């Protein structure tokens, strides 16, 4: 498969290749969101309401893309975001993401719902790694995972707070995602024709041992949590603000609150000692009808941007989108679907191509703006259309 230009020049091309390789259920798990997908659409649309204000006749022979996030120097202003069930999209899943991030001088955030172990993911990477924490499986399972991340040298915990229950992801229901992840061959039977239409994916899925439990959610006395038990486990172990004190007791590194969408929650995160927050709608996969995260970013930055590191996540499809969020004041951007489409299409090579596309787009955008570096970006390079903000 060729991933070079002109066949693959943007994320839409990677999405097209991912759709061709994956069965409908797996593709829609990656591509879909909650309910009517209003938030997903608004997350992308919001970027179109931010306009650039370039400065021409400015020499920018090279552009410095470096940033420092949670004390870690990165060569790129974006990190690869946590994506659960990555192994379902490609057998190397999180291993490929970790390796590609390290190869390109940036960080990777490993999901609690990883199909590969904390230790194996670490072994693949020469870059900084972070761990996204759910309390699925209870505090005992979480404490064991935290101890393993600490021993493996992960740099920070990203505590996800926007998942008291799983979102209503209707595409998953229609396409049999639950049945695909389950143990019943009878339940899978009705989806077999669609799966057989994707022989490359099926061969890799079978060779990889099919559906596996989550190796980083080890419930005391029960072992690794089965994929079919995740929704119930999340609902019975909702993260609350009181959990942060306990997390701080068992983890002495930076803590980042992921899923912050209001000034109140941003301030509360700071009050509870969070070293960072991620402004995020969980890719539109939780509560539908929430504004795209870019719309709330300015207000949150005004409220807490001088007190904690504010990262951005949501709707990014081009490097120029990243530049807009960074110009508003975000410390860095989390890239999710943008690299996951590449992973689903071609594993390691697909992620490398996704990163290459975003890097080139950021450099081109900075040069066209007349801006020499990410550090030099500020709000003077952008204008917001009337009615853009949601405060």
Whether 282 sits among the annotated catalytic residues: the reply is yes
Distance, CA of 195 to CA of 358 (rounded, Å): 31
Per DSSP, the three-state class of 34 is: coil
User: Catalytic residue among 90, 116, 198, 282, which?
Assistant: 282
DSSP one-letter code for 81:
P
Is the C-alpha dihedral spanning 338, 340, 343, 344 positive or negative? negative
Intra-chain end-to-end CA distance of the chain, in Å: 45
Distance, CA of 6 to CA of 22 (rounded, Å): 22
Distance, CA of 278 to CA of 160 (rounded, Å): 9
Distance, CA of 281 to CA of 38 (rounded, Å): 11
Per DSSP, the three-state class of 139 is: helix
Please state, in angstroms and as integers, the Cα–Cα distance from residue 155 to each residue in 77, 168, 256, following that order: 17, 32, 11
Nearest Cα residue to 216 out of 149, 155, 151: 149
Please enumerate in sequence order all residues whose Cβ is within 8 A of that of 175, keeping only pairs 6 or more positions apart, or say none.
23, 24, 25, 28, 191, 194
- Scanning 67-117, the segments in alpha helix (DSSP H) are 86-89, 93-103
CA angle 189, 191, 196 (to 5 degrees): 100
Is the C-alpha dihedral spanning 269, 270, 274, 275 positive or negative? positive
Please enumerate in sequence order all residues whose Cβ is within 8 A of that of 105, keeping only pairs 6 or more positions apart, or say none.
74, 75, 76, 127
Distance, CA of 357 to CA of 318 (rounded, Å): 8
Report, as residue numbers or ranges, the catalytic residues.
282
């Amino acid at each position: 498969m060729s991933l070079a230009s002109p066949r693959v020049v943007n994320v839409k091309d990677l999405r097209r290749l991912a759709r061709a390789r994956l069965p409908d259920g797996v593709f829609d798990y990656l591509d879909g969101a909650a309910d009517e997908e209003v938030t997903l659409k608004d997350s992308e649309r919001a970027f179109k309401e931010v306009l650039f204000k370039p400065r021409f006749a400015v020499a920018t022979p090279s552009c410095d893309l470096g940033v420092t996030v949670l004390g870690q120097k990165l060569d790129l202003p974006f990190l690869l975001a946590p994506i659960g069930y990555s192994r379902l999209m490609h057998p190397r899943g999180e291993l490929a993401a970790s390796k590609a991030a390290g190869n390109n001088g940036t960080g990777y955030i490993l999901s609690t719902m990883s199909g590969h172990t904390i230790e194996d993911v670490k072994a693949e990477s020469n870059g900084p790694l972070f761990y996204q924490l759910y309390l699925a499986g209870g505090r005992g399972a979480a404490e064991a995972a935290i101890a393993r991340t600490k021993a493996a040298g992960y740099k920070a915990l990203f505590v996800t707070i926007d998942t008291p229950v799983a979102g209503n992801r209707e595409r998953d229901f229609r396409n049999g995602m639950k049945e695909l992840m389950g143990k019943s061959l009878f339940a899978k039977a009705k989806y077999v024709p669609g799966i057989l239409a994707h022989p490359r994916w099926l061969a890799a899925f079978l060779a990889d041992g099919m559906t596996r439990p989550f190796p980083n959610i080890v419930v005391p006395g029960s072992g690794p949590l089965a994929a079919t038990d995740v929704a119930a486990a999340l609902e019975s172990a909702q993260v609350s603000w009181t959990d942060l004190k306990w997390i701080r007791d068992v983890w002495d590194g930076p803590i980042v609150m992921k899923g912050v969408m209001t000034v109140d929650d941003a301030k509360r995160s700071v009050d509870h000692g969070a070293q960072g927050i991620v402004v995020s709608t969980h890719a539109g996969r939780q509560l539908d009808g929430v504004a795209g995260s870019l719309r709330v970013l300015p207000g949150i930055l005004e409220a807490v941007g001088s007190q904690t590191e504010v990262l951005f996540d949501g709707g990014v499809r081009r490097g120029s989108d990243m530049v807009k969020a960074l110009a508003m004041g975000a410390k860095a951007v989390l890239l999710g679907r943008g690299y996951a489409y590449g992973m689903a299409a071609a594993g390691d090579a697909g992620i490398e191509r996704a990163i290459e596309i975003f890097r080139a787009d950021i450099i081109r955008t900075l040069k066209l703006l007349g801006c020499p570096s990410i550090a030099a970006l500020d709000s003077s390079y952008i204008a917001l259309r009337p009615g853009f903000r949601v405060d």
